[in-house]
Amino acid sequence: MDDDVILNEVATRVVPMIHVFGIYIIVHGHLSPGGGFAGGTVIGIGMVLFVLVFGIRAARRLIPEDTLIALTTLGPLWYAGTGLVGMALGHQFLANANAGLPLGNPGALLSGGLIPVITLGVGASVALTVAVLFLVIVEED
């Protein structure tokens, strides 16, 4: 596997594109079909492709498994912390427009108040969950 030139070259070019596309889906979640869950899955699948082509040792050199598992906790924490913003402003948990947050220009990239912020957390959570599930289950070669 390690000396398969075509596979290595194709994956070297495709994996970054998959990740950029996943980030695009997450960031445009409130404007176009997609969002945190879909974009996070795309990024996670990009990580899975990386592991399949370059091997699990290369992936562990890049990010140790423990770091990945620890980072997975950041997604739900980010989401819950976003909810606390509404409470800090004196409204319900996860309040958005009710708490007086700026909604921006509908259709602009930075619009929708807390929606893009929440979507980022969900995307990171889903991507890392897919990667952790794969990395933990996959066998050493």
Binding site residues, another protein, CB under 8 A: 29-33, 35-36, 65-66, 69, 72-73, 75-76, 79-80, 83, 93-94, 96-97, 103-104, 106-107, 111-115, 118-119, 121-122, 125-126, 128-129, 132-133, 136-137, 140
Degrees (nearest 5) of the Cα angle 102, 122, 58?
135
In the bound complex, what is the minimum distance in angstroms from residue 53's beta carbon to another protein? 20
In the bound complex, what is the minimum distance in angstroms from residue 71's beta carbon to another protein? 11
Region of 53 (left: φ > 0; alpha: ψ -120 to 50; beta: rest) is alpha
Could you say which DSSP state residue 28 is in? T
In the bound complex, what is the minimum distance in angstroms from residue 124's beta carbon to another protein? 10
- Tell me how far apart the alpha carbons of residues 18 and 60 are, in angstroms, rounded to a whole number: 20
- Closest CB to another protein among residues 13, 105: 105
- Closest CB to another protein among residues 49, 69: 69
In the bound complex, what is the minimum distance in angstroms from residue 106's beta carbon to another protein? 5
In the bound complex, what is the minimum distance in angstroms from residue 15's beta carbon to another protein? 21
Helices 65-72, 115-137: inter-axial angle, 10-degree rounding: 150
For CA atoms 129, 130, 133, 134, the dihedral sign is: negative
- Closest CB to another protein among residues 7, 21: 21
- Closest CB to another protein among residues 10, 58: 58
Under a CB-based contact definition with an 8 Å cutoff, are residues 122 and 36 in contact? Answer: yes
